[in-house]
Structures are given as C-alpha cells and as structure tokens.
Amino acid sequence: MKTLPTYDPSLFEGAAEDYAQYRTKYPPALFAKLAEIFNLDGQGRLLDLGCGPGLIAIPFQNRFQEVVAIDPDPEMLKEAKRQAAVAGVKNITWIEQGAELINPSLGVFQLVTIGRAFHWMERELVLERIYELLSDDGGLVLINTNENPWESPLPWKQAAIAVVKKWLGEQRRTGQRGQGFRTPIDPPHEVIIAKSAFARQAVYEVSFEKSWTVSSYLGYLYTTAFALKIFFGDQAEAFAADLQTALLEVEPSGHFTEEIKASILVAWKN
C-alpha cells in the first residue's frame, strides 16, 4: 500500500498573512469565465483544494450554494477564516487535511478547483479521488499564472531573483527551512489528466495587468517557498534594503507593472 505524502509545515511557514495580502488575486473575469463554462447559477457545491488563505474560495463562493475548502496548513486556514469573516462570507466550510485524503463523505460537487497547488500533491491519487466526488456534469479546474520570477524576462524580476540568489544561493530552495529543492513538474499536468478517468480537457486563458511597488514585491517574495522571511532570520531588513536598491536601479520610480496570464486547465468528468 502506497504511503501518502506527509505535509511539510515549513513549506510556507510564517507566510499566511502576507500570502493573503501580497499574492496576486485572480481577476473577476476568470471567475466569470468559469461560471460561463459550467453554467453556474448560484446553486451546487464547490470543493477548493489547497485553498491557502482563500484566494479562490472566498471570491468564488457567490457562484455556489456551498463551498468546502481544504488545506493541510493550519496557519493558512486561520488566515482564510479571518479573510472570510472580513468579507462577510458564511457559506464556506474550512477543513484541515491533505487533498490526498478527500473521500465520498464530503458529498458531491459540481466543481473542484486547485490554484497553484496541484504540483505539491500526489497528482494521480488526487485525480482519482476528485473524479469520485464530481457530479456527472462536473469538472476539475487547475488555475496557474505565469508570474514566476525565476522564468521571467522582465529586468526588474531578474534583478529581484539575483538578490535572492545572492542571499540564499544559486539553487532554488523549497521547504524544510530552505534546504529542499523541488524539480520541475514532470510530466505536465495535462499528461497526468490524459491518463486519468477524466473524459476530456481544454485550456483557457485570462490576461490582466498587475502593478507592484518595492514594498509589495518584497511582501510577495516573503510568501514564496523559495524566499520565505524565515530564511533570512535577523538579516531580513538587510535583504529588504538590498532588494530595494536593486529594483530602484532598474526602475527608479519604484513602480513596476507586468501582464499576467492566468491559465485555466479544465477537465470534464464526462
């Protein structure tokens, strides 16, 4: 019997509050597109896996009667509940567990969403379990964005990563207080889905503009698994000053913009 992966609590240690504030929010157009694809009418149920602080569950909840949001990180869920309370949202049930543990006791869902988290999961197993929970006309939605600074051609992002490498080393860090490293996703999600029970899949795209300041981009970096604030310890202020100098050398105004493309990979049960 295969052993399920154990969640690494250091993966986003100390980042929950900043994650809610500084991570890029998905635009309304993205949720409108999903509502169009699945004919959402305010009824039905949504399951959001790897929900983090609620970046999908909270803005998307008004398209459903009920939402179940699951994440293995208690700090992320604590922040998600706080954000939901601030927004006056009351139709979301928050559950602390890994996506690999979902089962039919959760009930039937019209839609399952995963935003920028599927690569952390045991993908084949999670797909099997999602398939069991979907209604016949339901589907899975994987949402991702192209804002990864490690792969960006934007000079200011390259400058930011150069500072990260200066402080943390050339190898990209992940989890275990920065000692781990995750290899690129292989095979791609599309290949895994094609081998699953899902009937078909398609990719949609929504583009939008995002603006940053030195402060907000620092906040973003502190939410990433490769540059968590805890990595810098009592040198965090020195790192922040170094980052500011590098970014202002590229753009003296201190204001940065980028066009972000959100990809929506949809897989239908039937």
226-257: pLDDT as tens digits: 999 999 999 999 999 999 999 999 999 999 99
Please check whether residue 10 lies inside any domain of the structure. Answer: no
Q: Is the pLDDT of residue 224 over 90?
A: yes
**Confidence band (pLDDT; 50, 70, 90) for 4?**
low
Q: How many domains does the chain have?
A: 1
Give the whole-angstrom CA distance, residue 161 versus residue 126.
32
Q: Which domain holds residue 51?
A: 16-268
Considering the entire predicted model, what is its pTM? 0.93
Residue range 90-147, pLDDT digits in tens: 999 999 999 999 999 999 999 999 999 999 999 999 999 999 999 999 999 999 999 9
Please check whether residue 7 lies inside any domain of the structure. Answer: no
CATH classification at residue 223: 3.40.50.150
- Whether 99 contacts 70, CB under 8 Å: yes
- pLDDT for 2: 55
- pLDDT for 12: 86
- Whether 55 contacts 61, CB under 8 Å: no
Q: Is the pLDDT of residue 262 over 80?
A: yes
Please check whether residue 8 lies inside any domain of the structure. Answer: no
Give the DSSP per-residue string, 225-252. TTS-GGGTGGGHHHHHHHHHHHHHHH-T
Residue range 149-170, pLDDT digits in tens: 999 999 999 999 999 999 999 9
Residue range 32-61, pLDDT digits in tens: 999 999 999 999 999 999 999 999 999 999
Q: How many CA atoms lie within 13 A of 79 on its CB side?
A: 20
Please check whether residue 5 lies inside any domain of the structure. Answer: no
Please check whether residue 143 lies inside any domain of the structure. Answer: yes
Q: Is the pLDDT of residue 204 over 90?
A: yes
Give the DSSP per-residue string, 149-171. GGG---HHHHHHHHHHHHHH-SS
Please check whether residue 117 lies inside any domain of the structure. Answer: yes
Number of H helices, E strands in the chain: 9, 7
Please check whether residue 50 lies inside any domain of the structure. Answer: yes
* Tokens found for residue 99: 């996506």
**Confidence band (pLDDT; 50, 70, 90) for 14?**
confident
- pLDDT for 5: 60
Please check whether residue 48 lies inside any domain of the structure. Answer: yes
* 3-class SS of residue 189: helix
Give the whole-angstrom CA distance, residue 237 versus residue 208.
32
* Tokens found for residue 150: 């490690």
Residue range 171-196, pLDDT digits in tens: 888 765 444 445 557 899 999 999 99
- Whether 116 contacts 144, CB under 8 Å: yes
